[in-house]
Amino acid sequence: MQLAVSFDRDGNITLMFEPSKLQGNEGTIGYQPAPRENHHVLDLPKQLEGKQLPELARILRVNTRGATPTLEVKPVGAKKRSTAK
């Protein structure tokens, strides 16, 4: 399953949706990321398939290290990473 995910520079998810559900017979809805917001379509880890989007948004973050961002489960007890400069 793929999710469209917007996230800040620290990997905090700001928006998540299933892009396949935004397509219909009458058209497709698009999304324009805000300035300084990253947006990618990412693969959901198999072990998390079947969970509802609100739960996924609470337990996931984006790993921004490396060439390609990936979704990962937040460490237990982790708080939202600061976006302070």
Mean of pLDDT over the chain: 86
Number of domains in the chain: 1
Mean pLDDT of 4-11: 91
Distance CA 51, CA 24 (A): 23
Residue 7, judged by CB atoms within 10 A of its CB (0-12, 13-18, 19+), counts as buried
pLDDT 10s digits, 38-56: 999 999 999 999 999 999 9
Is the predicted pLDDT of residue 83 greater than 60, yes or no? Answer: no
Coil, helix or strand for 48?
helix
Domain range for 63: 2-24+32-73
Residue 85 in any domain: the answer is no
Residue 84 in any domain: the answer is no
Residue 61 in any domain: the answer is yes
Residue 38 in any domain: the answer is yes
Residue 83 in any domain: the answer is no
